[in-house]
Amino acid sequence: MPFDNENTYIKMVEKNEEDLFHKKFDESVESVKKLFQKEYPNLVNGEVIEQEKLIHFSPLDGKTQVGTFQMSTKETSQKAVKIARENYKEWYSRGYLARSEIFMRAADLLSKEKFELSALLSYENGKNRYEAMGDVDEAIDFIRYYALNLLENQGFSRFTGTAYYGEDSKSVMKPYGVFLVVAPFNFFSITVGMVSGPLLVGNSVILKPSSDIPLSSYKFVELMHKAGVPRSNLIYLSGSGGRVGRTLYTDDGVDGIVFTGSRDIGTKIYRESQERKPKVAVTEMGGKDTIIVTDKCDLDKAVEGVARSAFGYNGQKCSAASLALIDEKLYDTFKKKIVDFSSKLIIDDPRKKGTFVGPIINREAYDKFQKIMETIPKDKILLGGKKIPREGFYVENTILDNVGDPNIERVELFLPILALKPIKSLREAVDLVNGMEYGLTGGIFTEDKKEIDYYFNNADVGVVYANRRRGGSTGAMVGSQPFVGWKWSGTSGKGTGSFYYLQQFLREQAQTIVR
């Protein structure tokens, strides 16, 4: 069975079903409300209710109560590890064919529920309908792609020959045991992909979801159980990362951690998880994604590609461009054009059809935006820079003019803030990129093939694009564009949505039989 990306919106438009797409999404915006204002238990081979609760509110208005979730205790966390460890070998022993079949079934179930889940994401993390559907599509893609990859590699077991007469040997890749997944808020698909990798190959997984998308994560775990994953092998524990996460990643019963989030938290987990015993630590820790625009570019293409990358989902993508290096000969013209283009992007309720971006994720991010803007000289603000006075956490798309501040130009902000900087040459721009501590994504706009080759051959960045109008540094597709961070952006050197990804959650055993 060949892999095919889900691509719901694009495929429906191609079939002249765009109106149907909007109709189904609008209906789901209403129907998903039935899930709200309920209490959701932890799922630890059964339902667990804790004394302390977490109430999750939508960033759309800061007051719509999505649901009540559990603040997991140390005792519950330790119980989860014990259950997961006791049962992982039984899950592995089902064989790769059975596990792949369950995952293909899960992908089909998720595809049937994708409109409701995408509508839920609009409430939970503020995505517009196109981004939300794309996010759910990517989740479906991860499940299918990894299942097909496991089938293609026959469970990662192969005969290795005869070293001595009368001996037969083979290499078998086996699970470690228990993986903890600490997930981010910005992509439901990242949560799904991080869980799917270690679980599919035979490990048990404990999911500590982001406190900003707990309900969509809960629905995903429910769906996986429905598809056939045993409840003892996929466990859902809500709560704070500092309390629940640390209890789990320092537990000797946990063999590995899969983390996506900030550099500070990622390095803390990486360091502290290894103190008592070696553990697998697969971390993606963000980036300072930079797009280079040379004097040989198509200017309109470059303007749109930079703006869409910087402001899509309010810059809250690991891959969002937050720095653009513009050839000094084009700099003034580029400034005017990108300010004009970006000023027309609609910031509004993400449930509305024409909205480009909705609110940022929460009060903490809202306050961070204001604090950053208080440090910027007024004459350096080309566009935006202010909160939008309405219910919810809405801020303006912001463009800054050559501020020269390393806290702006070299630090990940995770907000709709784009810094522009003039450069004299492509070599200077690439050297600047390579001098950064991060190396996740990047892009270039030039119509000169030699410049593209120079950038691709010399940029120390995991994911690079040339002339991508839909997003100059964003939008990696499962199967086609493995998503991998270099340097401080990641620890594994293997990309999600890649044919190398699953092997990170397996360890090799050499087996020899003497005839």
Instruction: Verify that 20 and 98 share a domain, yes or no.
Output: yes
Spell out the residues 6+ positions from residue 400 whose beta carbon is closer than 8 angstroms to its own: 376, 380, 381, 382, 408, 417, 418, 419, 420
What's the pLDDT score for residue 515? 87
Q: Domain span at residue 469? A: 289-478
Instruction: Verify that 396 and 509 share a domain, yes or no.
Output: no
Report the pLDDT averaged over residues 186-194. Answer: 96
Q: Is residue 486 part of a domain?
A: no
Asked whether residue 1 carries a pLDDT value surpassing 80, the answer given is no
Give the number of domains in the chain. 2
CB of 143 closer than 8 Å to CB of 158: no
Instruction: Verify that 464 and 395 share a domain, yes or no.
Output: yes
Instruction: Verify that 218 and 295 share a domain, yes or no.
Output: no
CB of 436 closer than 8 Å to CB of 408: no
Q: Is residue 88 part of a domain?
A: yes
**Residue 182 CA to its chain's centroid (Å):** 11
Instruction: Verify that 361 and 331 share a domain, yes or no.
Output: yes
Instruction: Verify that 254 and 358 share a domain, yes or no.
Output: no
150-182 pLDDT, tens digit per residue, is: 999 999 999 999 989 999 999 999 999 999 999
Distance CA 106, CA 42 (A): 21
42-55 pLDDT, tens digit per residue, is: 999 999 999 999 99
Residue that has been written with the tokens 């990242």 in this structure: 190
Question: In Å, what is the CA distance from 485 to each residue of 314, 380, 438, 463?
Answer: 21, 31, 8, 7
For residue 492, what pLDDT band results from cuts at 50, 70 and 90? confident
- pTM across the whole model: 0.95
Spell out the residues 6+ positions from residue 326 whose beta carbon is closer than 8 angstroms to its own: 293, 334, 335, 420, 421, 422, 423
426-462 pLDDT, tens digit per residue, is: 999 999 999 999 999 999 999 999 999 999 999 999 9
Report the pLDDT averaged over residues 86-101. Answer: 98
- Average pLDDT value for the chain: 96
Q: Is residue 385 part of a domain?
A: yes
The one-letter amino acid code at 113 reads: E
Percent of the chain with pLDDT over 90: 95
For residue 244, what pLDDT band results from cuts at 50, 70 and 90? confident
The one-letter amino acid code at 53 reads: K
Distance CA 121, CA 210 (A): 13
Instruction: Verify that 193 and 231 share a domain, yes or no.
Output: yes
CB of 58 closer than 8 Å to CB of 226: no
Instruction: Verify that 329 and 443 share a domain, yes or no.
Output: yes
- Both tokens of residue 346? 């609609």
| CATH code for the domain of 150 | 3.40.605.10
Concerning whether 284 is annotated as a catalytic residue, the answer is yes
Q: Is residue 32 part of a domain?
A: yes
How far does the chain reach from its first CA to its final CA, in angstroms? 38
Treating both helix axes as pointing N-terminal to C-terminal, what angle do 129-152 and 114-125 enclose, rounded to 10 degrees?
120
Instruction: Verify that 76 and 30 share a domain, yes or no.
Output: yes
Asked whether residue 478 carries a pLDDT value surpassing 80, the answer given is yes
Spell out the residues 6+ positions from residue 337 whose beta carbon is closer than 8 angstroms to its own: 299, 300, 303
Asked whether residue 406 carries a pLDDT value surpassing 80, the answer given is yes
Distance CA 437, CA 488 (A): 6
Instruction: Verify that 107 and 254 share a domain, yes or no.
Output: yes
Catalytic residue selected from 138, 318, 396, 451: 318
Treating both helix axes as pointing N-terminal to C-terminal, what angle do 114-125 and 214-227 enclose, rounded to 10 degrees?
160
Q: Is residue 2 part of a domain?
A: no
For residue 296, what pLDDT band results from cuts at 50, 70 and 90? very high
Q: Is residue 229 part of a domain?
A: yes
Instruction: Verify that 236 and 120 share a domain, yes or no.
Output: yes
| CATH code for the domain of 409 | 3.40.309.10
Concerning whether 318 is annotated as a catalytic residue, the answer is yes
For residue 245, what pLDDT band results from cuts at 50, 70 and 90? confident
Distance CA 365, CA 236 (A): 26
320-343 pLDDT, tens digit per residue, is: 999 999 999 999 999 999 999 999
The dihedral sign for the CA sequence 150, 279, 135, 321 = negative
Catalytic residue selected from 50, 116, 284, 409: 284
Instruction: Verify that 22 and 104 share a domain, yes or no.
Output: yes
